[in-house]
Structure 1
């Protein structure tokens, strides 16, 4: 065994220590991810108590997302500079303190500022937790390690809305932040006692730090995330700010890549992408984020805006599917340990996701019930289980030492960016498709047609029977028809979105099987260390 491999194995833990480290890392990943979605159901209450507009309060989500995506690529470098355990503890403390400050914010911009700093701490938790878990397990058991980590990452976005809904309905919105405080304190103590840092080389002096890299990364990611979050509500490229930030984002990306490839001590090590498995993994993580966050967004909006459900009920609908994913994780981890090729599992996962989108497309109506969506969402849970662990394990399977952290940073960033792209594209197309379907439906409601005249007359009589005058009854008839058209056109837009998502997943299957067959030969060798 080489010295490098011996150094890598120094961090492997056994017995109760590994159990506690795993629980701590999953708890921290859960804290970060739950906080991404928990605020969604509290925005209305925040608006009321802080006197903010809908655009202002949307920044509570945007600020957190921007900070998250900026800090994720830098986590590996920051871990090496300050020591992983110190950096992890500092991130938990920042996250926990900012949770308290968010709950105590007296106006909307205070809350947004604290959410941004909370996101800086939170982004670090996600990737560092993944690295800590990966390095605490021997190479042969890393598939299981990713399965355990995956439980937190997959279940987290689903737990947010029902938990947030419960806290807002029974207490008040600050409690969605206060709930982090005891968990943060426990995680800090456990990290200080049990987590160890790898031995890195010399730390950089202040004048060697890649300050330009940090500035360019922040500019590129911050601008891109803003464009994705606000593009739809600001009419995309009809808005001068969106155009400016899009240009800034592209220029920032080009300059950032040039800087990282030419500077001696880059903030993000792009050379780690020479690893073929990691390159495939980052693309797959992007698609996974697109499907995971995209479908997590569509279903609550559909159930609340079309079916009239409460936020809590909408959130609870997603829980059986998440539990299915959590149950799947250890089985999938075990299959990887036994040498089942990850490419096949990912291919089946995308196929299952296609069937989920197909079932949702055929079952969505203005009157869909829980019973119609239960099994498709269970199927989605199975698909996520088959995708998350194999993609993540495959991405990191041929990396060693500090490259594991750098690889985890790329996969984490691409999953978050995939989610941002997914949400931005889906919300845009829901609006566009709804408008198209509305125009087509209105064209079919020709008042000259006999069936349309019959329906209008029937509805008018029904309103007159309730005591309305003929004029008012006719007005209410047209309002009811307009609402029915709006509802139906929106449902048709959702079915279109599911159809296109399904096609995207179907197209991924041959690419994955084609690329990953050769790479799978590495895994049995890895497992024999």
Structure 2
């Protein structure tokens, strides 16, 4: 079987594994590292808030367009060549991003960087999976999972440190030395599987490529910009939603009827892969959603710095890192994947409910988050490897790459859906709670008036005249209402995220495991 010939041993396997993990880390750290530097970029470039948002959107669109095509592109050009080319594109565009002088240059280079980066994630996973014999793949996925789980957490503190101590272009320049080393190691050590002959240009599914790019590009734009542009009251959002739906329909029809499809949808006939794809979406929703909301809360309501909120996430990432090899071993010993996934989902529910209980408008301390985030770290470890293993467990050869592309794309889209839905939900809840609280401020209520007069007297004592002091008293009251409404919105997000994971548990337990899994056949991994 062609796959066996790719199994590596000894130091060669170690070097290939390290190369692949570095590339996965490069890609993932880059999705979150810019978040904390956006303010500095905005100041430097004189950009508006909505323009600066494009720095993240452009990268995500490039990423999501390329991921489903990676298996086909690996076939066309050979996996090693394609992987090396992706690292080179990523590295050069990182340099160009750091040197960009206008906002639109930066956005263009970020899009190109996303096209290079999308391949790094999925291809590095396939390379690691195929370098290990089937019985060792639980450990292989544990090692790969380290990069995927730790990456989003490393980004903000690293970005905060670089931005505070140097300047924002260095968050891109840091990729250059790693990219050069990874390219050299890839060309030297990574091997390509022997695929069937390449397609001639006339057989290439160009229509499929165009429809796929239109579908996921439009969808990603809608998800990233919807809340800011007020969803379907904006003609661009409406048009792109229709474009995305229609191009998805025609894309599926094209891929199922064309003899050389760019994305092999038939691989989804595999039941385990279908389940793994859905679970990857939910995992992305939880992983990126919770990584997005905690810094937002700590910086927005508690007034922490970017570095402080980044540092808060590190113990949880280390916990996940510690859990990965243990879970890999459990899978090798034959513990059913669905039990581990169910346990991970339950822990994620515990973490979310804990978050719901500890959130306050102003005085939640860093120590209150510690154990809650440790629980999240354990839960994430229990989710990532078993989902990946389950998804790829009964695939062979070329199908592994195709399966990894599906689960990778769904995890990214799950993250985009998560962030978009959380942002929309929070702004709606915020407005609702604010109106509710303001409605309860009755000027005939003696408690309310005592509070206002107390504030007025304290401002008069600081030398204000009574009229100005009264106005300032009302402002303080308004500010505390705003904070209270925001805190209640965050509480709701935690509660509903937790319930979403809790509801999924019975469905996960109904999934049939791999019958042949005497020890694990995780040709399944992600």
Question: Could you state the TM-score of these two structures normalised by the residue count of structure 1?
Answer: 0.98
Contact 1:224 1:245 in 2 (8 A): yes
- The 5-angstrom pairing of residues 297-316 of structure 1 reads 297-316=292-311
Contact 1:398 1:522 in 2 (8 A): no
Answering whether residue 425 of structure 2 is matched by residue 429 of structure 1, we say yes
Alpha-carbon separation, structure 1, partners of 2:440 and 2:311: 38
CA–CA distance in 1 between the matches of 2:343 and 2:76?
A: 41
Aligned counterpart for 2:455 among listed residues 448, 456, 459:
459
* Unaligned residue ranges in structure 1 (runs of 5+): none
* 1:89-488 paired onto structure 2 within 5 Å: 89-366=84-361, 367-488=363-484
Indicate the SS of the match to 2:3.
helix
Moved over 3 A (4+): 525-529
Shift of 1:520: 2.9
Find the aligned partners of 1:426 and 1:524 in 2 and give their Cα distance: 41
Judge conservation of contact 2:12–2:189 (CA < 8 Å) in 1. yes
Which of 53, 64, 71 matches 2:66?
71
Question: Are the equivalent residues in 1 in contact too, given 2:345–2:505 (CA < 8 A)?
Answer: yes
Contact 1:292/1:419 (CA < 8 Å) preserved in 2?
yes
CA contact (8 A) 2:333 2:520 kept: no
Q: 2-side partners of 1:95 and 1:47: how far apart?
A: 23
CA distance in 2, matches of 1:204, 1:527: 31
Measured in 2, the distance between the counterparts of 1:210 and 1:296 equals 37
Distance 1:489 1:387 in 2: 33
Aligned partner of 1:11 among 1, 6, 24: 6
TM-score by length of 2: 0.98
Q: Is the 8 A contact 2:339 2:509 kept in 1?
A: yes
Tell me, in whole angstroms, the C-alpha distance in 1 between the residues paired with 2:385 and 2:427.
34
8 A contact 1:50–1:107 mirrored in 2: yes
Deviation at 1:526, TM superposition (A): 5.5
Q: Which residue of 1 aligns with 2:514?
A: 520
C-alpha distance in structure 2 between counterparts of 1:141 and 1:394, whole Å: 14
Q: Tell me by how many angstroms 1:527 deviates.
A: 4.4
The CA distance in 1 between the partners of 2:181 and 2:26, in whole Å, is 12
Alpha-carbon distance in structure 2 between the residues aligned to 1:526 and 1:276: 17
Return the alpha-carbon distance in structure 2 between the equivalents of residues 180 and 477 of structure 1: 50
SS in 1 for 2:229: coil
How far apart, CA to CA, are the structure 2 residues paired with 1:385 and 1:499? 21
